[in-house]
Amino acid sequence: MSENLPGGTLTLAHDLTITRMGFGAMQLAGPGVFGPPKDRDQALAVLREAVERGITHIDTSDFYGPFVVNELIKEALHPYPADLRIVTKVGARRGADGSWNPSHEPEDLKAQVRENLQRLALDAIDVVNLRLSEEGTGEESIAEQFGALAELQKEGLIRHLGLSAASAAQLTEAQAIAPVVTVQNLYNLANRQDDALVDRCAAENIAYAAFFPLGGFTPLQSETLTNVAARLDATPQQVALAWLLQRSATTVLIPGTSSLSHLRENIAAASLVLPADALAELDTIGR
C-alpha cells in the first residue's frame, strides 16, 4: 500500500525505503511523554491504522514513556510488516520525575540500543539516531559516541545510522565514520534556522526528518498560514505539513498524535499540493 500513499517514498540505501509521511510515536505516551497513555486501546488503534493507511516509517525511542511507546508498538504491530521501517534514537534517559537526562557514554549508548531491540522484539533496528544535546553549540565532537553506534552497525544490530539535534559540522564528522541516512532536527514554517542543512541533505540524499513540524508544545500561530489554509479548504496544520513536503525532495515528516482523527488529517496533508502563490506567502513566515 505504501506506493499509493500520496506523500510518496524515499529510498536512502539499497535496503531502506520509507514513506515521506511517517508517524512520530512520541505522543502515544502520557502527559509530558511520561507514563502510560490515557487511552491504551486508542493508542494501539492509531498505530495499526497508520500502517494500514500505508505508512512505513515509524519514529520512536525507548525514552518515550520511558519504554511505554516501544511496548505499544510491539503489541500493536508485531510481527511487523515486511516493509515497515522503525527508526529509534538513543542519547538520553528519563528521571523518575520525568526529566530528560542526556546520556552519551559510549557503553550506555550501546546498552540503550540493546534495550530498544529487546522491547521492540527486533534482531536489528533499521535506523538508530544519535540524539545530541539541544543545549550544545554544535561544535562538540561526536566521534566517540557515533563511533560506538558504528560498532553496533558492524555487528549487525543496527542497519543504518542518523543524527538528531545535530549541526552541519557534526554531520560532516559523523560521515567520516559511517554513512548517515537521516538528520532529525527542529524545523517548521516558523523555525527556519536549518535552511542550509535541509538543502545539503537534499543534495546528499539524506532524509531530513523535521521534528515538531507543527510547532510541538507551542503550536504554530500565523495569520498568513490561517489565510492560506482557508483559501485551499485545508487546515493550517495540513498546509504546514504540505509545505515541508514541498520544501525539499528528501524532507520527511513524523507528526505525532494519539488521535485517529488527527492521524487521518495528517495523512491527508500528503496529497495537498500548494500552488506557487501560496508557497511564496508561506515563505514569508519564517523569513
208 is catalytic: no
Q: Angle, to 10 degrees, between the axis of helix 40-52 and the axis of helix 260-269?
A: 30
Three-state DSSP at 90 gives strand
Cα–Cα distance, 209 to 185 (Å, whole number): 7
Cα–Cα distance, 183 to 162 (Å, whole number): 6
Write the burial class of residue 184 (CB in 10 Å: 0-12 exposed, 13-18 middle, 19+ buried).
buried
Closest CA to 132 of 171, 179, 175, 95: 171
Backbone angles phi and psi of 221, in degrees to 5 = -130, 115
State the alpha helices, DSSP H only, in the chain.
40-52, 68-77, 106-120, 143-155, 168-175, 195-203, 223-231, 236-247, 260-269, 276-286
Backbone angles phi and psi of 257, in degrees to 5 = -165, 155
Instruction: Tell me how many degrees the CA angle 31-34-37 measures, rounded to the nearest 5.
Output: 65
Active-site residues, by number, are 64
